[in-house]
Structure 1
Amino acid sequence: MAFLLGDCQLLDRLKEKNITQADFARHMGCSRSYVNQLIKGKPKMSLEFAINAAHFLNCSVNDFYTLQWSSNRNE
């Protein structure tokens, strides 16, 4: 059994903190377009990006994605 990353929850975290995608992108040193792509799920956040984002948003790395169980680790 393994966890798979499901839907991205970044937009929910930004709304909770009342932070715009543009402000988040500026703080993270990336484009708003990249933030929007993350929110849509393509690509997935790198661990380094997620750790820095979690620090900025005062949340856990686990808060950025729903987690799904998989019996096949290769999915």
Structure 2
Amino acid sequence: MGYILGDCLLQDRLNDAGLTQAEFARRMGVSPQYVNKIIRGSRKMSLEFAINAAQILGCRITDLYILEIVRDRS
């Protein structure tokens, strides 16, 4: 059994924190376009990005994506 990343929950976490995509991007040192690509699902967060995002947003890394269970990874 293992996990795969499902839907990105970054926009939900931004809403919870009262941050716009632009303000979050500024704090992360990336472009608003990059943040939007992550939210739309055309990019996945690196572990480094997720760690820093979780610290800024006051959440756990696992709060940034829906984790889907995979029963057989063979």
TM-score by length of 2: 0.94
Q: Is the deviation greater in 7-16 or in 37-46?
A: 37-46
What is aligned with 2:29? 29
Q: CA deviation at 1:41?
A: 1.3
Aligned amino acid, residue 57 of structure 2? L
- Report the RMSD for the aligned CA atoms in angstroms: 1.1
Residue 13 (structure 2) aligns with: 13
- 2:46 corresponds to: 46
Structure 2 unpaired stretches of 5+: none
Aligned-partner Cα distance in 1 for 2:66–2:49:
17
Matched residue count: 74
- Partners of 1:73 and 1:48 lie apart in 2 by 25
Q: Per-residue displacement from partner, 1:20-65 (whole Å, max 9, x unpaired)?
A: 0000000000010000000011211000000001001110000000
1:68 equivalent in structure 2: 68
- The TM-score, its normalising length taken from structure 1, stands at 0.93
Give the superposition deviation at 1:7.
Answer: 0.1
Unmatched 5+ residue regions in structure 1? none
Structure 1 residue 13, shift from structure 2 partner:
0.2
Q: Give the deviation of 1:19 after TM superposition.
A: 0.2
Q: Percent identity?
A: 54
